Structure 1
Amino acid sequence: MAACTLDAPDARQLADFYENLLGWPRRSDAPEWVELAPSDGGAGLSFQTEPLFSPPRWPSAPSRQQMMMHLDIEVDDLTSAVERAVALGATEADFQPQDDVRVLYDPVGHPFCLFVHTDSDS
């Protein structure tokens, strides 16, 4: 797999958020398509402009765009990672299903999770 692609009303604006959150450089940058990739290789994250974008709904609700995927991002310190993500433009979800995971929404509404790896995760 080369990348996971997220739709957004403005690809560059959403890419700015994830570029700052993940610290990944841009591999490609066009007005309607941006690619980020980790410096050490591996799959990246791409963004495409979708003028008819409708944000997903999580938790799911009838007759709303359902979440079809989300990003899981491992962090060293959950509290500081949440604070940083919120400072960059994320919003913490009202519903949190686990104590050791925080669900947030990026600036256009895609849910993503921040978590700290523990020995019980193996």
Structure 2
Amino acid sequence: MPRAKVSTVVLDAHDAHELADFYVRLLGYEVRADEPHWVLVGPPGGDGVSLAFETEPAYVRPVWPSRNPGDQQMMLHLDIEVDDLEGETARAVAEGAVLADHQPQDDVRVLFDPAGHPFCLWVRTEG
């Protein structure tokens, strides 16, 4: 049976470089490829999932949570495990993220990156 694995998640944005810079700062990733409309970043040492960013001139920010039929739906979100939820939330906001108004869980913080993609910071809880 063929072996397959997810190697990269690609996010569209109006400006691939701006969004890549945000995730480099947020995650401590490094740039692996940099082209005019495409940037690939990943963890130092190469282990883990890489993120790529592609410039899409017609990009439309997703709406989360969805409120109206016809809203641009969120297609995916990133879950990022952290040790200090409040500290990392504050750091993400300082780097350019926006805290979502709706927070569905006590051990998760939903934020939006500079292009409007939702992502979650979460802490592992016992149980």
Q: TM-score, normalised by structure 2?
A: 0.91
Instruction: Tell me what 1:16 maps to.
Output: 21
One-letter amino acid of the counterpart of residue 95, structure 2: L
One-letter amino acid of the counterpart of residue 55, structure 2: T
**Number of residue equivalences:** 120
Pairwise CA distance, 1:51: 0.2
Answer yes or no: is 1:53 the counterpart of 2:49: no
- 1:58-80 deviations in Å (ceiling 9; x for gaps): 00122111011000000110001
What secondary structure, in the 3-state scheme, does the structure 2 residue paired with 1:119 have? coil
Report 1:14-93 matches (<5 A).
14-40=19-45, 41-61=47-67, 62-93=69-100
Distance (whole Å) between structure 2 residues aligned to residue 65 and residue 56 of structure 1: 5
Pairwise CA distance, 1:42: 2.3
Distance (whole Å) between structure 1 residues aligned to residue 116 and residue 19 of structure 2: 10
Q: TM-score, normalised by structure 1?
A: 0.95
Range with bigger deviation, 32-41 or 97-106: 32-41
Pairwise CA distance, 1:119: 2.3
**For structure 2, which runs of at least 5 residues remain unmatched after alignment?**
1-5
Pairwise CA distance, 1:38: 1.0
* Root-mean-square deviation over aligned CA pairs: 0.8
**For structure 1, which runs of at least 5 residues remain unmatched after alignment?**
none
Which of the pair has more CA radius of gyration?
2
One-letter amino acid of the counterpart of residue 43, structure 1: V
